[in-house]
Structure 1
Amino acid sequence: MMTPSIAATCFVAIDLSKSKWLVALDAPHLAKIKSVRLDGFDTPGLIDLVRATVAAATELCGADQRPVVCFETGYDGFWLQRLLSNEGIETLVVDPTSFLVNRRARRVKTDRVDAEGMVVLLKNYCSGDRKAFRTVRVPTVAEEDAKRFHRERKRLMSERTGHINRIRALLALQGVRHINPAMVTWRKKLDGLETADGRPFPDQLMREIVRSFERLELTNKMIKALAEERDEALATESERFPEHEKAVLLEGLRGVGRHSAMLLSAEVFGREFKNRRHLSSYLGLTPSPYSSGDVERSQGISKAGNRPARTLGIELAWCWLRYQPQSALARWFRKYTAERPGMRKKVAIVALARKLIVALWRYVETGLVPSGAVLKAEV
């Protein structure tokens, strides 16, 4: 983003909610910050307000004014940024966790205070203070849509686990533990089912169990359909999955499955990183030291990055030890833990995950296979 001239800029910050939008305006013709409340999702009113503010500032100052708008990322995603950008309005999406917060015991927090504070930070940011807040990279529509494959799968898998646990709990109420909810022949198992004390199974409880099984079947069908859509998107080089080549490269490594390859490609490797520290920071795998006076200690990893990718990185590290035992990273892990008898492997695996993600990043960017790693074609 080019730094605009502060004297020829109208700054706009929007505090978004489902019912109301509070817009804070700071323009050259205004003596102080102005707040305007709009109905939620009133985009025509917002655009008219921004343009009217720019027109009034241009008329007063005699120089063409330009608007700069910002809002926090969150529930509304990026559609508003795309809409305003299409209207020729420069728009920044801000990471709300990057704001400095007043540490008073009871700080004042209202929509007006938040919006006015954001517009001040926006002005500082455009003046060159890049520490005022952090902006969020806005993905393309195709990049954003490609993430739905693994995100919907995660939700469906969680629903399936919930249905299975519920069925087991309902059966356990009557002492029945021999029925596996994952079996496709569950209807036959329920016919003539008796409780552990020899009574006929209660009618209403049985109906609830049958409905739970039907919900489980529907969830399994959705998971299967989603897997077919995912495979189709990866098999054809189309816009449905922009990072197709990187996913294919990752899947070619032994120990990396299709789901893992597509998740890493969509969530992580579709972005640009300056160096390995930048990549580790995005995943929240960098250390968080605490040093004050004579006190120095480690607080562990920051956990401030992409949570799905960080979780997968830990899982991949365990898989890497199993399927790539002769790789340089696996040998390093065994040596590192052997030299430190008190070191728990659950702690050391985080370091391996950080090194592994960096190695995979170099692999998809440069084609450099991780040292000692085996490709599936070589197995």
Structure 2
Amino acid sequence: MSERTYIGLDVHARSIVGCALNIDTGELTRSRFEDDLLGTAEWVRGFGPGVRVVYEAGPTGFGLARHFRAAGIDCVIAAPSKLLRAPGDKIKTDRRDAKILATMLALGEVTEVTIPDPGQEALRDLSRARHVASADNAHAKQRVNAILLRHGILFQGGKSRWTREHLRWLHQQHFEDPALEFAFQESLAQEESMSVRLKRIDKEVARVAADCRYTEIINALACLRGISTVGAFGLATEIGDWTRFNGATIGSYLGLVPSEHSSGETRTQGRITKAGNAYARLLLIEAATVHKRPYRRPGILELRQLELVSPATAARARQGNQRLHARAAALEERHKMPAKARTAIARELAGWCWSLAAPLQEGRPMAGR
């Protein structure tokens, strides 16, 4: 049988639909498997040693690709957002999706997703668990504030909330209506529970970050203003191999570059593409807000962080902090919209993160700028 066979798989939790395309004869071979990795692998092996397999990235994860690669089968995972589909194609089935994947793989039109090893995926899951806990805690706080606001009760102890003084004030609030009192106390108890949960996860992240494969990169990224140990841990685990990019492509990968619709002599740019890793993009945008604050010399916490890295990395990080603050100040002088200015800083911050992390992974000296 021909060695040039390309197989597309439409993978679901309990079923796999396969379509094999022989590009010499144009023959299509289809099959369906019900939650059977071994049977799927045997079917793929039957097409010879030169077979290539592809399936879309999705909630089923990377287990199937790892299983195929362990069995000596060349398997790639396609980025769903990069798959081409005809505008007039309004029929979507598992069989058609598998055929489209096989055809695109044969044409070399598949944009591959990097497959992390189990260790990196475990660290990534810890980082994402922290993100979920932070979001849950924020929502719990919003619910408590919403109840008080709806009944005209405002904290008079200053603008800062969720401080010790604010928490004492919250516990002093009571309502005459039993149902309302129960709802408020339950919301407050939930917030306290979420806060304890978040602190517990933060401790675990700090412990793991201090001794893992990305510790050196985490320490370097945390030298940049706005990026805490938790943020650096998230960026390091989400991106993994920084050497895949350069200073320009890292922003594109994270979806921080403008979208574009150009035709003929008309060139129109729109909002950022928001392609790629949404969590890493969020971490950078959150960090970008810090850089509009004045920056003359490193603070105590920054100095402690700079002591954890090499002199070359420390110098590069300080250069980045100065450049990013100057850039933020220039955008503010031009009266740029805050959201656009923040996004521009996040895009440049991504490049500075790359300039710190990539040389460490490559083992080369830190370059100047």
Contact map agreement 1:255 1:323 (CA 8 A) in 2: no
Task: State the secondary structure of the residue aligned to 1:249.
Answer: helix
What TM-score, normalized to structure 1?
A: 0.77
2:324 to 323, 329, 339: 329
Residue identity in the other structure for 1:363: L
Task: State the secondary structure of the residue aligned to 2:244.
Answer: coil
Task: State the secondary structure of the residue aligned to 1:37.
Answer: strand
Residue identity in the other structure for 2:127: H
Contact map agreement 2:202 2:230 (CA 8 A) in 1: no
C-alpha distance in 2, partners of 1:178/1:320?
30
Query: How much does 1:119 deviate?
Result: 1.1
- Alignment of 1:290 with 2:261, yes or no, is yes
- Alignment of 1:250 with 2:245, yes or no, is no
Moved more, 242-251 or 255-264: 255-264
C-alpha distance in 2, partners of 1:212/1:302?
37
What is the percent sequence identity of the aligned residues? 24
C-alpha distance in 2, partners of 1:323/1:245?
28
Change in Cα spacing, 1:34 to 1:315, as seen in structure 2 (3 Å) is same
Give deviations 1:312-354, integer Å, cap 9, x for gaps: 222222212326357133224434553xx46434323333322
Residue identity in the other structure for 1:10: T
1:144 to 112, 115, 121: 121
C-alpha distance in 2, partners of 1:68/1:88?
11
Task: State the secondary structure of the residue aligned to 1:272.
Answer: helix
1:87 corresponding residue in structure 2? 71
C-alpha distance in 1, partners of 2:26/2:283?
52
1:98 corresponding residue in structure 2? 82
Contact map agreement 2:235 2:280 (CA 8 A) in 1: yes
- Alignment of 1:264 with 2:258, yes or no, is no
Contact map agreement 1:285 1:301 (CA 8 A) in 2: yes
- Alignment of 1:117 with 2:100, yes or no, is yes
C-alpha distance in 2, partners of 1:72/1:353?
29
Structure 2: gaps of 5 or more residues = 298-321, 360-364
C-alpha distance in 2, partners of 1:24/1:333?
52
2:177 corresponding residue in structure 1? 201
Contact map agreement 2:77 2:113 (CA 8 A) in 1: yes
- Alignment of 1:320 with 2:303, yes or no, is no
Residue identity in the other structure for 2:217: K
1:68 to 39, 52, 55: 52
Residue identity in the other structure for 2:65: Q
Query: How much does 1:268 deviate?
Result: 2.9
- After superposition, residues 198-237 of structure 1 pair within 5 angstroms as 200-202=176-178, 204-235=179-210, 237=211
C-alpha distance in 1, partners of 2:36/2:239?
34
2:318 corresponding residue in structure 1? none
C-alpha distance in 2, partners of 1:184/1:249?
35
Greater Cα radius of gyration, structure 1 or 2? 1
Residue identity in the other structure for 2:103: V
Query: How much does 1:226 deviate?
Result: 0.6
Contact map agreement 1:254 1:323 (CA 8 A) in 2: no
Query: How much does 1:112 deviate?
Result: 1.2
Residue identity in the other structure for 1:201: D
Residue identity in the other structure for 1:256: I
- After superposition, residues 23-38 of structure 1 pair within 5 angstroms as 23-27=18-22, 32-38=27-33
1:374 corresponding residue in structure 2? none
C-alpha distance in 1, partners of 2:139/2:172?
21
The count of aligned residue pairs is 334
Structure 1: gaps of 5 or more residues = 1-5, 55-63, 126-131, 195-199, 372-379
2:252 corresponding residue in structure 1? 281
Query: How much does 1:254 deviate?
Result: 4.6
- Alignment of 1:46 with 2:40, yes or no, is yes
